[in-house]
Structure 1
């Protein structure tokens, strides 16, 4: 099993890579889908060196020895751990990417992707597989989502631009969720929040069932077909848009829920063309 210790900028090229596990603290991380040979390019290393291992079964690990996948969200150790690196792997490669305060971009992947972060910004660009994202206060931005995304956070924000998800599940405490969606007939969206606001933009001709509940939050809707009801300790918005089939469910304690009507970013671009 080949192993390298990276304490200075450099580049490595690997054979077959079927799974990637990368864990860094601060700096910048990019994981990009590529048809070429898998590569690692490091342009900055400050502090402890990175350890790279490539198993015979195709598993590639790039990490600090003392930073485990399960320990990402609770990382408290002092000292400089800054690195800037780019990894290119096949688009079907399974990816686990963990960052503490580093920013991360994962682009073009079609397999399963797991992302963990504490306070860094995470961007998922045209990721079409199954994605699980978990942060403490870091934000997650998804562009061109066409797969399954499960997002959980305490105070981090989630933004979904031009999304066509099969499944979208969000769970936040105070984080804000903003989603620009075009739902397929089999698309299902489930959002839970304690005090964070939820804003969803849907096409005016969407076919979906809608169910919104809040204890004390405000509900606003641009769809007159949906009906609002109020009772002591609860407010609800329900109804069917178009012919239904897809589903959108949002539940909050005190967070506001807003449904907007308009073409998602992807369709707006097509209409301009």
Structure 2
């Protein structure tokens, strides 16, 4: 068992294992990365409240010390920049169970292989190379998932959702106000569900995909690069398009209440065609 209260920039290298990571910060930048080396916490910027680090029984906790004042709630009525800002980087084993929360700022998580939960109130979330089960929620701002596999849930109230080089077997992406852009390279029997209330959906899949596709827009236009998926809607008309790509082992559904949907095809290179 070990405890640190960090008032100035400091690197903490931990002895012992880390199986669970809990981070709860108010404002600033948080980077969480997988490592094969010893777990460590790097604090490079500290606000007016110190950062408290605790390591006990395989659980690593990093948080800002909270003694709430009225000024801390000013972000509900004014700029979030008034919150105390910190810059924290955490390196942990890839298989940790991670629970990451940030009120305002930028959060980046990369290389994790266990279950990961991310929540930001206002700012930006970037997920890179994650595996396992991942859920990310942001109230105001974009969320990006790059090279993520496993199960993936993304949600934003006001902001864009972007997926690139995704091999996730299960994808749930939803935004109340904002566009969804996806470049998917999914395994067979994948289940992909994309929905937006106000915004468009653009999704690109491999030409040799095996997907049962259903697209719906209440007010917008549907376009498809695949002749198997037809029946689009004109501008403002709304409608549905359905079809089967390949064997149809997987499922792709996309819906937009107010916005258009575009289904694009990605050519498959000769090197990819030779893979088993």
In the superposition, the TM-score normalised over structure 2's length comes to 0.88
Q: How does 1:9-88 map to 2 (within 5 A)?
A: 9-14=9-14, 15-56=16-57, 58-66=58-66, 76=76, 79-88=82-91
Cα drift, residue 152 of structure 1:
1.2
Gaps of 5+ in 1: 69-73
Cα drift, residue 238 of structure 1:
0.1
Where 1:244 maps in the other structure, the secondary structure is coil
Aligned: 1:186 with 2:189: yes
Contact 2:157 2:177 in 1 (8 A): yes
In structure 2, the CA distance between the partners of 1:221 and 1:67, relative to structure 1 (3 Å rule), is farther
Aligned residue number for residue 245 of structure 1: 249
What is the CA–CA distance in structure 2 between the aligned matches of 1:182 and 1:60, rounded to whole Å? Answer: 34
**RMSD of aligned residue pairs (Cα, Å):** 2.5
Cα drift, residue 100 of structure 1:
2.2
In structure 2, the CA distance between the partners of 1:36 and 1:134, relative to structure 1 (3 Å rule), is same
Aligned residue number for residue 149 of structure 1: 152
Where 1:206 maps in the other structure, the secondary structure is coil
In structure 2, the CA distance between the partners of 1:120 and 1:45, relative to structure 1 (3 Å rule), is same
Higher-strand-fraction structure? 2
What is the CA–CA distance in structure 2 between the aligned matches of 1:179 and 1:27, rounded to whole Å? Answer: 28
Cα drift, residue 270 of structure 1:
6.8
Contact 1:119 1:139 in 2 (8 A): no
Cα drift, residue 175 of structure 1:
1.7
Contact 2:49 2:65 in 1 (8 A): no
What is the CA–CA distance in structure 2 between the aligned matches of 1:42 and 1:268, rounded to whole Å? Answer: 47
In structure 2, the CA distance between the partners of 1:200 and 1:137, relative to structure 1 (3 Å rule), is same
Cα drift, residue 105 of structure 1:
1.2
Q: How does 1:94-243 map to 2 (within 5 A)?
A: 94-228=97-231, 234-243=238-247
In structure 2, the CA distance between the partners of 1:131 and 1:75, relative to structure 1 (3 Å rule), is farther
In the superposition, the TM-score normalised over structure 1's length comes to 0.89
What is the CA–CA distance in structure 2 between the aligned matches of 1:48 and 1:269, rounded to whole Å? Answer: 54
Where 2:182 maps in the other structure, the secondary structure is strand
CA deviations 1:19-74 (Å, max 9, x no partner) are: 11112232221101001111001111122111111122x11110123399xxxxx9
What is the CA–CA distance in structure 1 between the aligned matches of 2:241 and 2:124, rounded to whole Å? Answer: 33
In structure 2, the CA distance between the partners of 1:214 and 1:10, relative to structure 1 (3 Å rule), is same
